[in-house]
Structure 1
Amino acid sequence: MKVLVVSDNHGEAEILKQLKARHKEEVDHFIHCGDSELTFSDEAMNGYHGVRGNCDLDTSYPETLTKELSGHKLFVTHGHLHQIKSSLLPLKYAAEEAGANIACFGHSHIAGAEYMDNILFVNPGSISLPRMTTDKSYAIIELKDKMFFVHYYNEKGEKLSSHTFEK
């Protein structure tokens, strides 16, 4: 199973449409970790399971989202309510409380993946305004047997890096 994770497009609707068109045949689920700055009903958000970020005005988005995906439980949040810029500990507690083994978040605009205490943490970075790099990015999480693969891509779909974690 594959899950595309994107965050922090800050009003750029076209890139979300491009990602869906590019990956619709290979990806099973599309996740948006907030700060789309689009309305919940915007056409560009169609097909994405999204949450509300600190820059999202539309209160129709949930603050967090939990999804069951092929034997895995995914916890999605923007991150601003879980102090992710300081520590992953509050996010870890929230994911554990939700019974999740994958936690997706944005907010920092910095791409990264880490496996800690049986939880995979994935920040796709920002598809519009990256920090600590010039690469606008998104991630695809691939779940295979007892392995997690996290692949990072730039806005053109070119692979930037990959990480492998054993469950």
Structure 2
Amino acid sequence: MKVLIVSDSHGRTSYLEWVINKVGHIDAFVHLGDFEGQEEYIRSLVTCDTYIVSGNNDYFTDVEREKIVTLGTYRVLLTHGHRYHVNYGTDYLLETALENGFDIVMYGHTHIPSVEYRRETYLVNPGSISLPRQDGRTPSYMIMEIDRRGEICFNINYCKYN
């Protein structure tokens, strides 16, 4: 199973189009918020299972703030992250995951990509596809792959748009 994970596109759909074309076939697509009114267009870009949650800049939307999904055999919480104060660390997010039996928490908001594995829980952030904040300020997205044995792998990908 191949899952494309993005966050913080901030209305810049050309960046999403570029990444979707580059990545090719995916089994699921996740957008972790701050799409700024482009949710229907984003849904139209892919033909696979699509999961979108709203962020702190997604005003006037009916998109859920959080979503619980199953990917492979993994129980996953999707959230933008701002309600968990992720700018100050992921401890609160981890405690929420442990209390609720999540194997993975996917979040955005910080615009900085990361993969943490703490207390048998993955906390993953694809960074921002349009407004990165990490050193080098290169836009990023994440690919999650689950192999036939159920083993999981997260890859942070950086891109320069043409």
Q: Tell me which interval the TM-score lies in, with the shorter structure as reference length.
A: 0.7 to 0.9
The answer to which structure has the higher helix fraction is 2
Q: 5+ unaligned residues in a row in structure 2: which ranges?
A: none
How many aligned residue pairs are there? 155
Alignment of 1:1-167 (within 5 A): 1-25=1-25, 27-41=26-40, 43-46=41-44, 47=46, 48-133=50-135, 134-144=137-147, 145=149, 147-156=151-160
Q: Secondary structure at the match of 1:85?
A: helix
Distance 2:104 2:69 in 1: 10
Quick one: distance in 2 between partners of 1:23 and 1:97? 34
- The answer on whether the counterparts of 2:11 and 2:38 sit within 8 Å (CA) in structure 1 is no
2:116–2:122 CA contact under 8 A, matched in 1: yes
Superposed CA RMSD in Å reads: 1.9
Q: Give me the whole-angstrom Cα distance separating, in 1, the residues matched to 2:123 and 2:9.
A: 20
| 2: CA distance, partners of 1:153 / 1:79 | 20
Q: Which has the higher contact order (CA 8 A, sep 6+)?
A: 2
Superposition deviation, residue 156 in structure 1: 4.7
Higher strand fraction (1 or 2): 1
Does the aligned pair in 1 maintain the 2:9–2:131 contact within 8 Å? yes
